Structure 1
């Protein structure tokens, strides 16, 4: 009977500890896990299971292991936010699976995807015809994002009032974390001077920019570190 009570108490404690750790690591752990967060979740789950049922292992040792992996994951998440190169190395980058309605077979193979899997992912996006697709990307969280060809875009109130504009170009990321994405600029024949002139016209410097992208409509979208929002909204 005593052994049963000990296991009950250890199980409840393991559950509570995991709840606290998940809250500490943040909302990202619950939604779009990257590679290191997935590994952390698996390891923490294994340690918590031992904490609950393995009476041969000392509680203090298990608590130390939980603390080490928790703070390691937390430290990595901070580095990933601040260092884009490290983020790309640990998380990878999105992969184009379809371009101009054509399937890129080599990219499917690199990501160990079959046509059946791709078709299923597209059907979940309510797409049954490849001819509707301009671009399809496999995101780093394993989900697929699709950009339809302009003739298949949903009609908006703006379209009805002003007429549809050319939306066939894929958005081009220009700046991320205050750094020019020189590879994107070179591939799309965009001179760095053009980007800098746009920033100068706004009275800003490269270090002021958090994210900049040339949209599918050709318009430049820039998000600055200082958004001048005094009361950011976060739903608790």
Structure 2
């Protein structure tokens, strides 16, 4: 019984340590990975697993190892920010795979990137014809960035000389039927104003599952009672 309790406690400690480490290293660690993030993630995962289940290793040793790895990764990330030359070695650098619509075979070989992988990455960007592409760059996080040829690019409001529409960041007002008063205060809104808006629709705050003020300051509500007789269930 004592062994089981010890494993539970060590696992909880490992989870808390990883959460703290993720907070320290920042969001980049959990987004698309660079070389440094990939190596750091593997080592941290291995150390955390040993901390949780390998009772032959002292917890203090594993915690020290986690702290050292975190500090080393943080230091390398700071160096990468300060030094362009070191950043290329630590995090990698972008590689041009298509230039002026032509595939650069040597660059493809250098990064060991196959034509199948290139085709797949292009299809994921809804590009099925190579003739559409002007430039394609393999970023240091493994993602493919694509610039289409001018004749295949989307038309913007500026191209059509349309008047621009002011936009604002969406503001969540209600979640799970509960008013988010902090968001109201930060945006100079009041509970009375929101209640009046809902009253016009014959609703109350408690009727709303999710409420948000959109990018053009329009109010969007999703109610608990959706009045959908046969909701779609694809499972």
User: Deviations along 1:118-164, whole A, 9 cap, x unmatched?
Assistant: 100000011001111100000000000000000011011211239xx
Query: 1:36, 1:19 → 2: CA distance?
Result: 18
Match of 2:103 in 1: 103
Match of 1:28 in 2: 28
Q: Quote how far apart the aligned CAs of 1:103 are.
A: 1.1
Query: 1:92, 1:14 → 2: CA distance?
Result: 29
Q: Looking at CA atoms only, which structure, 1 or 2, has the larger radius of gyration?
A: 2
Give TM-score, length-normalised by structure 1.
0.66
Q: Quote how far apart the aligned CAs of 1:34 are.
A: 1.6
Query: 1:56, 1:137 → 2: CA distance?
Result: 47
Query: 2:52, 2:103 → 1: CA distance?
Result: 48
RMSD of aligned residue pairs (Cα, Å): 1.2
2:12 is paired with a residue whose SS is helix
User: Deviations along 1:25-79, whole A, 9 cap, x unmatched?
Assistant: 1111111322122111111110100000000001111111011101011111111
Match of 1:154 in 2: 154
Gaps of 5+ in 2: 163-235
Query: 1:15, 1:90 → 2: CA distance?
Result: 27
1:32 is paired with a residue whose SS is coil
Give TM-score, length-normalised by structure 2.
0.67
User: Deviations along 1:98-133, whole A, 9 cap, x unmatched?
Assistant: 112211111111111111111000000110011111
1:50 equivalent to 2:50? Answer yes
User: Deviations along 1:1-33, whole A, 9 cap, x unmatched?
Assistant: 111111111111111110111111111111132
2:160 is paired with a residue whose SS is helix
Match of 1:5 in 2: 5
Gaps of 5+ in 1: 163-236
Query: 1:127, 1:149 → 2: CA distance?
Result: 12
Count, aligned residues: 162
The answer as to whether partners of 2:10 and 2:59 remain within 8 angstroms in 1 is no
Query: 1:99, 1:78 → 2: CA distance?
Result: 32
Match of 2:126 in 1: 126
Match of 2:200 in 1: none
Query: 2:26, 2:79 → 1: CA distance?
Result: 15
Match of 2:82 in 1: 82
Query: 2:135, 2:127 → 1: CA distance?
Result: 12
User: Deviations along 1:178-223, whole A, 9 cap, x unmatched?
Assistant: xxxxxxxxxxxxxxxxxxxxxxxxxxxxxxxxxxxxxxxxxxxxxx
